[in-house]
Structure 1
Amino acid sequence: MDVAHVVAEPREIGSVRVNVPALDLQSKEVQLRLLAHALRWVSGAEYRPRLNALKRVLAAIFDGQGCTLSGCLISTAKAGVIEVSREIAAVEVTDGRSGSFDTRWICDIAEGEWRTLGVEGLARFPNWRDTTEHRNSLLASPSLWNNNELKSAPFLVKNQIRKCRLRDGPKSFFDSILTH
């Protein structure tokens, strides 16, 4: 789906930015397919949300309203752009020795637990706005904690010892779109 390259920008942090004016130029069917794909890619869900739920979310997007669906948070990133990010409440804590987080991430094996950075973790980085990442994406990003002490926040502090990466990388967003 070449149109996906115009409309969507998958991010290393695991979210997808959607150009709303470019989305609006597409047919309703393509709009719904792209939205469903973004939600599945961000949530890691096997199946897309129900059609009526997708239609409600699409209407909310064009009305400039934020919403949630399928374990994802859809919010305004900047004028004309929405961001589909993981909903914090939908993410489970993972043992640091498992090597994965939220089924989508491969993480360094470490003592402690991989969990979302959350409000508590983000508060430790007063300059987080200097990043190019949306607040909601940072809140849901993987972070390593041990005894309630933040050990690693890979998307806020680069070159940390403990890292996480998307299992298939952001390019997989485009590779996994069905073209029929």
Structure 2
Amino acid sequence: MFRRGLGPAGKEALGLAVSGGGDSLALLHLAVEAGCTVAVATVDHGLRPEAADEAAAVGAACAALSVPHDILHWRWDGQGNLQDAARRGRIAALAAWAQGRGLRAVALGHTQDDIAETFLMRLARDAGVDGLAAMAARREVDGIAFLRPLLGVGRAELRGWLLQRGVSWADDPSNDDPRFDRVRARRALAAMADAGVDGAAIAALAGKMAEVRAALEATTAEAAARLVRIDGGDVILDTQGLAALPAEIRRRLLLAAVMWIASAEYGPRGAEMERFVAAALEGRVATLAGCRTSHARGRMRITREVRAVAGLSCPVGALWDRRWRVSGPDSNGLTLRALGEAGLAACPDWRAAPYPRTTLLASPAVWDAGVLVAAPLAGFGAGWVAQCQPPRGPLAAAPLSH
């Protein structure tokens, strides 16, 4: 059963994220019993003094099983929501660790109870279909597949399995702290079980919502194939066709465009998105999440807003704005930055480029200190090429221009 939850990744060396709690320790022992070749990482968030001892205990458990173990460190910068920041930091650290070990996948110990708790948390935040859909069994971050092979198993079942084998685990005291949404959701689940609504029933409902989401995504992809063109990192939409779409498909199509152009992991909040959609339908210029719209001849173009990339720089060859790679004859000591007004002024033939001025201003350019070397989208600099990361999701069905 465990290997089936891993899919094809079960045949390769696999990373495991093990905190020392019951769910992740069960993941470790199940993987070893299934004969998987594994390496383990424990992320010490530095938030509790006991965390270092718990990480060391995981190391001892791995040593007893002849499994390699690494301790990763993450520190909160004090910005934003602590639990969300810790989750993002943990995933980023695990992805970097997996890359360093040459692993293509990392398994996480999320269970059926996590699905139910997440459902209640998102329900309290007035989440839509996507928010209420069950957490994915597989997602990719920085080229690493993160797998959740235990989503069909309850937490109590896993812990009973560990007790039968005499395996003990550590309980994080924050799991009983009512300040956290997940703890309150866990308590609500326990209360609902008395009324006959248990975690398994809620997880099943979340699974149905995932099916609804998949159907909506398929319909959105079909709309993208008809109404969208990808053009130099921009998204161009047929406004009449957009207006004729059902409201939810229209919203999803515009959201996909904004998230791709902004390289955003999460979409804008509902009210912001509603205002953006309304402006799109009325033909008004709008900005959202570092993106900007323009309208001409029955088409709407969504492009990167130049001020959103004004401070971004990286060496030539690296990924700029999380979307663009630029290559050319000589990259030594050169930097990628937005073309901007000063760069555009140095491109004598930019008006002959197949892109509008707003697109060119936010496009990647090669600089040697303050001297413009190349601006591929503006046709400046022989031998230089800019390539944009292709869109995923529904926009992957849209045809490419130029």
Normalised by the shorter chain, which TM-score bucket? 0.7 to 0.9
- Confirm or deny that 1:82 pairs with 2:300: yes
CA offsets 1:82-127 (integer angstroms, 9 cap, x no match):
1111111212432325522111112334422111111111122344
Deviation of 1:176 after TM superposition, in Å, equals: 8.0
Judge conservation of contact 1:15–1:137 (CA < 8 Å) in 2: yes
Residues in 2 aligned to 1:74 and 1:162: alpha-carbon distance in whole angstroms: 28
Taking a change above 3 Å as real, the CA distance of residues 96 and 45 of structure 1, as seen in their structure-2 partners, is same
Corresponding residue of 1:5: 225
- 3-state secondary structure, aligned to 2:376: coil
Corresponding residue of 2:352: 130
1:104 is matched by which residue type in structure 2? R
Percent of residue pairs bearing the same amino acid type:
30
- 3-state secondary structure, aligned to 2:377: coil
Q: How does 1:131-170 map to 2 (within 5 A)?
A: 131-157=353-379, 160-167=382-389, 169=390
Q: Please, which moves more after superposition, 27-36 or 130-139?
A: 130-139
Taking a change above 3 Å as real, the CA distance of residues 174 and 63 of structure 1, as seen in their structure-2 partners, is closer
More helix per residue? 2
Judge conservation of contact 2:353–2:378 (CA < 8 Å) in 1: yes
- Confirm or deny that 1:119 pairs with 2:357: no
Residues in 1 aligned to 2:223 and 2:340: alpha-carbon distance in whole angstroms: 33
Residues in 1 aligned to 2:393 and 2:350: alpha-carbon distance in whole angstroms: 27
Residues in 1 aligned to 2:316 and 2:226: alpha-carbon distance in whole angstroms: 39
Q: How does 1:1-180 map to 2 (within 5 A)?
A: 1-11=221-231, 13-76=232-295, 78-91=296-309, 92-97=311-316, 99-108=318-327, 109-157=331-379, 160-167=382-389, 169=390, 174-175=395-396
CA offsets 1:127-160 (integer angstroms, 9 cap, x no match):
4232221211111110001121100101122773
More strand per residue? 1
Taking a change above 3 Å as real, the CA distance of residues 133 and 173 of structure 1, as seen in their structure-2 partners, is farther
CA offsets 1:14-59 (integer angstroms, 9 cap, x no match):
1111111110110111110000000001110001111211110111
Judge conservation of contact 2:255–2:273 (CA < 8 Å) in 1: yes
Residues in 2 aligned to 1:85 and 1:93: alpha-carbon distance in whole angstroms: 16
Q: Please, which moves more after superposition, 18-27 or 111-120?
A: 111-120
What is the CA RMSD across the aligned residues, in angstroms? 2.2
Taking a change above 3 Å as real, the CA distance of residues 116 and 173 of structure 1, as seen in their structure-2 partners, is farther
Residues in 1 aligned to 2:384 and 2:394: alpha-carbon distance in whole angstroms: 25
Judge conservation of contact 1:32–1:58 (CA < 8 Å) in 2: yes
Consecutive unaligned residues of structure 2, counting only runs of 5 or more, are: 1-220
Deviation of 1:173 after TM superposition, in Å, equals: 6.2
For the pair shown, the structure with the greater C-alpha radius of gyration is 2
Question: What is the TM-score with the length of structure 2 in the denominator?
Answer: 0.40
Residues in 2 aligned to 1:73 and 1:159: alpha-carbon distance in whole angstroms: 27
Question: What is the TM-score with the length of structure 1 in the denominator?
Answer: 0.86
Judge conservation of contact 1:14–1:170 (CA < 8 Å) in 2: no
Matched length: 174
1:156 is matched by which residue type in structure 2? A
Residues in 2 aligned to 1:46 and 1:110: alpha-carbon distance in whole angstroms: 32
Judge conservation of contact 1:117–1:141 (CA < 8 Å) in 2: yes
Residues in 1 aligned to 2:332 and 2:233: alpha-carbon distance in whole angstroms: 21
Consecutive unaligned residues of structure 1, counting only runs of 5 or more, are: none
- 3-state secondary structure, aligned to 1:129: helix
Taking a change above 3 Å as real, the CA distance of residues 24 and 171 of structure 1, as seen in their structure-2 partners, is same
